[in-house]
């Protein structure tokens, strides 16, 4: 069922910490047209090997405890993922019967807490995965929608670029204040740039801003 979700969201292969299982007709039935994802499952003998190439590992739990790494709200998850631009990020889910092992929790960078309002203290595995992926997808979709809305107003776009120019100390270009943004605006205004290209530039400046601010922390 998780492999089916991987196909839904076009994600890298599922990783399982445990013994390799031979394909069974019930697995194919539960995956429903996701046999390719089943064949790509990667098995690892221990947690540390499963996260060797991951820059960030996020644990999931319904119950907090003193023996666990720090918890963050689910709403902060996309910001954590975006901080690892062009790097591999893993989200780990435990068994339905006993959750994550202490060995797995120990190598997580942080945990996310669902804090659901109902009285049922747990979800089954596929529900947990679909819930988290749905939240991530929704947050990124809303962010892109907001970006596209702002791009429609080119004045907002140039104000944003001006702030980035100030951040990288280009506001005093050739000794003249705001010359850089004026020149940039002239280049954009004189070209037949599409909304898609403007959106691409917006994301480029976003990454520049993000990296500069992170380096200055």
Q: Output the pLDDT for position 50.
A: 92
The one-digit pLDDT tens for each residue of the chain (217 residues) are 999 999 999 899 999 999 988 888 888 888 888 889 999 999 999 999 999 999 999 998 766 655 556 788 877 888 788 777 678 899 999 887 788 888 888 899 988 877 777 887 778 888 889 988 888 888 776 666 665 555 556 777 888 888 888 888 887 766 777 888 888 888 888 877 777 788 788 888 888 888 887 776 6
Please spell the DSSP secondary structure of 9-35, one letter per residue: HT-PPPEEES------HHHHHHHSS-H
CATH topology of domain 2-121: Alpha/beta knot (3.40.1280)
C-alpha triplet 86, 87, 90: angle, nearest 5°: 135
Three-state SS string over 130-169 comes to HHHHHHHHHHHHHHHHHHHHHHCCHHHHHHHHHHHHHHCC
> What does DSSP assign to residue 3?
H
Residues written for the chain: 217
Percentages of the chain per state (helix, strand, coil), in multiples of 5 = 50, 15, 35
CATH 3.40.1280.10 range(s) for the chain read: 2-121
What number of other Cβ atoms are within 10 A of residue 35's Cβ?
14
Q: Output the pLDDT for position 13.
A: 93
> What does DSSP assign to residue 129?
H
Instruction: Measure the CA–CA gap between 188 and 207, rounded to whole angstroms.
Output: 19
What are the backbone angles phi and psi of residue 72, rounded to the nearest 5°? -125, 155
User: What is the number of alpha carbons within 13 Å of residue 159 lying toward its C-beta?
Assistant: 6
Q: Output the pLDDT for position 45.
A: 92
Q: Output the pLDDT for position 90.
A: 92
pTM over 0.75: no
Q: Output the pLDDT for position 119.
A: 80
């Amino acid at each position: 069922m998780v492999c089916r979700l991987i196909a839904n969201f076009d994600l890298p292969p599922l990783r399982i910490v445990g013994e390799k299982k031979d394909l069974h007709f019930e697995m194919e039935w539960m995956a429903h047209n996701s046999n390719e994802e089943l064949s790509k499952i990667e098995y690892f003998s221990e947690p540390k090997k499963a996260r060797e190439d991951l820059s960030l590992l996020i644990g999931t739990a319904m119950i907090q405890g003193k023996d666990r790494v720090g918890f963050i709200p689910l709403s902060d998850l996309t910001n954590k993922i975006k901080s690892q631009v062009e790097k591999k990020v893993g989200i780990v889910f435990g068994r339905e019967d006993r959750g994550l092992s202490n060995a797995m929790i120990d190598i997580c960078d942080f945990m996310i807490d669902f804090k659901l309002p109902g009285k049922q203290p747990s979800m089954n595995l596929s529900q947990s995965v679909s819930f988290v992926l749905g939240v991530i997808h929704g947050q990124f979709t809303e962010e892109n929608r907001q970006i596209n809305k702002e791009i429609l107003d080119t004045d907002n776009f140039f104000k944003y670029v001006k702030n980035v120019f100030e951040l990288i100390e280009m506001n005093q270009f050739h000794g003249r204040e705001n010359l850089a943004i004026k020149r940039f605006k002239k280049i954009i205004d004189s070209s037949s740039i599409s909304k898609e290209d403007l959106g691409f530039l917006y994301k480029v400046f976003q990454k520049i801003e993000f990296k500069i601010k992170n380096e200055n922390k």
